[in-house]
Amino acid sequence: MKLPKAYNPSDYEPNIYQMWLDNGVFTANPSSKKPTFTISMPPPNETGTLSIGHALFLTLQDIMTRHARASGMDALWLPGTDHAALPVNAIMEKTLAHEGTNKHEIGREEFIRRTKDFVGSSRQTMLGQMRAMGASADWTRLRYTLDDALNRCVNETFTKMYNDGLIYRGARIVNWDPNLQTTISDDEVEHVDETTTFYTFKYGPFEIGTARPETKFGDKYVVMHPDDERYAQYKHGDTFEAEWINGPIMATVIKDEAIDPAFGTGVMTITPWHSHVDFEIAERHGLEKEQIIDENGNLLAIAGEFKGMNIHEARPLIVEKLRAKGLVVNEDANYQHSVAVNERGKGIIEPQIKLQWWIDVNRPVVDWNGHKRSFKEILQSVVNDGDITIIPSRFNKNYFHWIDNLRDWCISRQIWWGHQVPAWYKTGADGQQETYVGVLPPADESGWTRDEDTLDTWFSSALWTWSTLIDQDAAQNYELSFEELLKQSPDFKAYHPTSVMETGWDILFFWVARMILCTTYMTGQIPFKDVYLHGMVRAEDGKKMSKSRPESIIDPLAVIPQYGTDALRMALIMGVSPGNDQNWGQGKIEANRNFCNKIWNMARYTEGVLENNPASGNPEPSSLADHWVVMRVSEELKTIDEQIRTYHFSEAYDRLYHLIWDDVADWYLEASKAELNPALLKWVLETLLTIAHPFAPFVSETIWQELSLGDKEILATRLWPETIACDDAKAKEFETLKAIISETRVIKATLNFNGGLLKHSNSRIASDNASLITKMARLESIENTEAAMSSGIALTENNENCWLEISEEIARNYLASTEEKLADLKKGIATISARLDNPAYVEKAPEKLVSESRAQLEQLRSELVATEEQYHRFKTL
RNA sequence: GGGUGAUUAGCUCAGUUGGCUAGAGCACCUCGUUUACACCGAGGGGGUCGGGGGUUCGAAUCCCUCAUCACCCACCA
């Protein structure tokens, strides 16, 4: 025996993974003739270690990839990591602050160098963890979002969009994070609820409400709805003088439909520099805009005596001053509103007007399917036209809704870690600023200075599916045009568009939509055909795992040594449906550790049999159990294959679990002990290991290697098994046999006795399989009496004239069970005959269902007759 | 304000396009040291599928409505 009694995963996993690597099992081959299957791995951020969420996506993608490989495809799962601009930058700045310095002191070059060191070690940790999860990714094609080739793609994309007028530089209102000192996109803004004080101030003849008195210094426009009759006497453009924070000011009346007359007094003043809505009103009417708050959140000169003060300190002082002037009309301390924060770091967002780079999403100049379209229109049409399928489909609605609300995308960031904007500026002879945008710096760099900003991480991530497939060396040859580069990239030609994008629903907008946008634009192709969205893994109590509750965090790498990677993988997909969140379940991991051990012991049993009874010849079913197991395995081979292909991972897993445990382990292996068929037993084991492999790669491959199974040396390269022929009638006979054994067990358990004598009257199945029945039902013996039953308890669930010969004394105790059974049978008969008595059912339901119902009714009725006879006999005992 | 999801056994959840008398894992109860496995085997209890309407021969599944919970988007002077 090579296999020890229990499966201990950590004894085998690292070696098995290394064996796969050594044999190049995961390496794709674009020159093969096989159909291709591609997944671009969503690159994890290089900020630390793998989370349970990473473990989930690695499992799902690995199942798909291994299944594709087994389906005879050239499967490429392309791995990578993300430079994670904003989070990494924040970590670095914090580290520098700790050391008493900052990025400006050490300079850009040194900053980049130190950041590379940091992410380098973090990357190695993460790659090791991904391998520990069993990820069958092609590590020879490992990519990084800051690779030189990707940088070229970034510059190509930026330049092309700039030349097409789709990227522009403009002073617009942005989401400014004073903590991280950068702009962020709309999608990175999160709203958190807050209770604050809502003030109502007197402002000339009006009363205005605000939660932010500190922004009000420069307010000189008072806005109301044009149809608000309370203010009908004031005309658009009227001016008036009002006493305000730092003395009298001239104010102008503006009428605008953005104002809700029902809110507060229906009048407000605006601060265009620090509010999105106010900015839009000011733009509509061509109003002046003035900055009040600087980039650190301090008040500017316009605040007079408050100049230089932080807004939070200044707020109460400003209110105090207004109160002293008698301008405070009302204060509501329980005002509920939400405040915008950066989802990274939770810094409060201060809108500012800044000169930034933007992508225009509304300009219809992009060629797509022969039409000039805007980015918005392309995003809509690829999903509407079915080029891309989102799974589950309910996310279509979210996706379209997001597009409808999409505004121009601010892509520049005031941080150093990332792809630098490929734009250069110089002041020309006439004093005007010139701008140069290009893939390469200007030919003569003298006088030009490069834009200091970097691009939003998602801008480079948006190029991920194809930038990773272009020839990495050719990308450095700038003689080649971008189109030539694509043509000369074998991987791009073989593997793009990719087959499926598997990712979390939380980055549908951030990433999936932006990949579609940039990829259709640059390559003329969709990035992927299907989008499969998984949910979040939450803590066992249903709440988010969070750093503030360290005990809530499940570390996948801590689970693996104790339970094994396979158990972790299966726990993560068990009972989980696409797009739905799941709670971590300790019970699930234990159940799957046990399942792995079950597989192990199924192999161990087979190993023992084969040692004494070497398999010879082709596997062919002989006994009833053989025919039955071949039938069951063949059915499930097809179904599980289909389920994986259609992304029903949980159901595929469920079928595998019960096939192995219930059908094979509990029935077939036990039955085989009565009538050995070593060749078939071996076939069953090999087949089950092959279909279990995508789910449980380690235990299946370990057994394969330890027992030197199969026609191939490595299970990971084996094709999905073929079915073999069986006799359906014999398989059905085994079902009858199962019924005899099960019912015998039930009677024995109900009456709680051991042994027992089973008699039958010329049952061929019972006499042919006497030893099997005796063994599995744990009987004393079995005999054919030829005579009809006269005493004991009849088995009524089959038509084989079998009965348990036991004393009338004990048999009478079965009366209660018989009564229950009678009730159940009558209920079942009532249900089905009611259905059949309904002419509409017989007429409209499919013929197959109707005939099934008839057969079922027939069966129940004969069972009822037998049970009733028995019942009356017991009554008279 | 707009939207999505959830509500199924004590707990955590599956349940493809409506179709066998509604399932799993865990937990629970009874029995069992059968040489693959106690990380086991055999048997069992437990649900009017959130409430109410409707469509249909047939509804956990489709439609309407209400309730509770979670989340997303927008707004917030």
Give CA–CA dist A142/A154, Å, rounded: 18
Alpha helices in A71-179 (DSSP H): 85-98, 103-132, 148-163
CA A732 to C1' B71, whole Å: 49
Tell which residue, A681, A638, A175, has the closest CA to residue A407: A175
Mean pLDDT score across all residues of chain A: 92
Give CA–CA dist A36/A67, Å, rounded: 12
List A202's β-bridge partners, or say none: A207
Closest residue to B3 measured CA to C1′: A398
pLDDT at site A428 = 84
Nucleotide whose C1' lies closest to the alpha carbon of residue A225 = B77
> Across chain A, how many H-helices and E-strands are there?
29, 31
pLDDT at site A347 = 86
Question: Is residue A877 over pLDDT 80?
Answer: no
A625-666 pLDDT tens trace: 999 999 999 999 999 999 999 999 999 999 999 999 999 999
Nucleotide whose C1' lies closest to the alpha carbon of residue A838 = B57
List A36's β-bridge partners, or say none: A74
Tell which residue, A140, A149, A145, has the closest CA to residue A123: A145
Please say whether the beta carbons of A203 and A269 come within 8 A. yes
Question: Is residue A7 over pLDDT 80?
Answer: yes
- Can you list the pairs that A296-299 forms with residues at least 24 positions away whose Cβ atoms lie under 8 Å? A296/A178, A297/A178, A297/A350, A299/A214, A299/A217
Question: Is residue A548 over pLDDT 80?
Answer: no
Nucleotide whose C1' lies closest to the alpha carbon of residue A336 = B76
Question: Is residue A779 over pLDDT 90?
Answer: yes
pLDDT at site A346 = 83
Mean pLDDT value across residues A375-383:
93
Tell which residue, A287, A341, A357, A417, has the closest CA to residue A178: A341
CA A798 to C1' B30, whole Å: 26
Nucleotide whose C1' lies closest to the alpha carbon of residue A667 = B41
Please say whether the beta carbons of A84 and A456 come within 8 A. no
CA A749 to C1' B41, whole Å: 13
- Report the percent of chain A where pLDDT is more than 70: 100
Residues 6 or more apart whose Cβ sits within 8 Å of residue A725: A630
CA A72 to C1' B13, whole Å: 34
Give CA–CA dist A217/A244, Å, rounded: 8
Question: Is residue A573 over pLDDT 90?
Answer: yes
Q: Determine which helix (DSSP H) or strand (DSSP E) holds A189, and give its type and residue range.
A: strand A189-203
Q: How confident is the model at residue A490 (pLDDT cuts 50, 70, 90)?
A: very high
pLDDT at site A820 = 87
| pTM for the model | 0.94
Closest residue to B69 measured CA to C1′: A542
Closest residue to B77 measured CA to C1′: A268
Nucleotides of B under 7 A from a protein CB: 2-6, 12-16, 19-21, 23-27, 30-31, 34, 36-44, 56-58, 72-77
Closest residue to B39 measured CA to C1′: A594
CA A745 to C1' B45, whole Å: 17
A427-473 pLDDT tens trace: 988 888 999 999 999 998 889 999 999 999 999 999 999 999 999 99
Identify the weakest region by mean pLDDT among A167-176, A729-738, A784-793.
A784-793
CA A287 to C1' B77, whole Å: 17
Closest residue to B25 measured CA to C1′: A588
A217-236 pLDDT tens trace: 889 999 999 988 899 999 99
Structure tokens at A614: 């070497």
CA A373 to C1' B10, whole Å: 57
CA A512 to C1' B18, whole Å: 34
Give CA–CA dist A266/A259, Å, rounded: 7
CA A392 to C1' B65, whole Å: 26
Q: Determine which helix (DSSP H) or strand (DSSP E) holds A859, and give its type and residue range.
A: helix A847-876
If you ran DSSP here, which 8-state letter would residue A360 be given?
-
List A221's β-bridge partners, or say none: A252
Mean pLDDT value across residues A549-565:
89
A288-347 pLDDT tens trace: 999 999 999 999 999 999 999 999 899 999 999 999 999 999 998 888 888 899 888 888
The residue among A500 and A50 whose pLDDT is bigger is: A500
pLDDT at site A754 = 87
pLDDT at site A798 = 85
A744-754 pLDDT tens trace: 999 999 998 88
A662-672 pLDDT tens trace: 999 999 999 99
Give CA–CA dist A243/A248, Å, rounded: 4
Give CA–CA dist A191/A348, Å, rounded: 10
pLDDT at site A285 = 92
- Report the percent of chain A where pLDDT is more than 90: 71
pLDDT at site A1 = 80
Dihedral class, residue A129 (left if φ above 0, else alpha if ψ from -120 to 50, else beta): alpha
Mean pLDDT value across residues A20-39:
97
Please say whether the beta carbons of A129 and A49 come within 8 A. yes
Question: Is residue A584 over pLDDT 80?
Answer: yes
Mean pLDDT value across residues A785-806:
88
Q: How confident is the model at residue A122 (pLDDT cuts 50, 70, 90)?
A: confident
The residue among A19 and A863 whose pLDDT is bigger is: A19
CA A584 to C1' B11, whole Å: 13
pLDDT at site A288 = 92
A236-285 pLDDT tens trace: 999 999 999 998 999 999 999 888 888 888 899 999 999 999 999 999 99
Nucleotide whose C1' lies closest to the alpha carbon of residue A7 = B39
Closest residue to B76 measured CA to C1′: A337
CB atoms under 10 Å from CB of A295, counted, come to 15
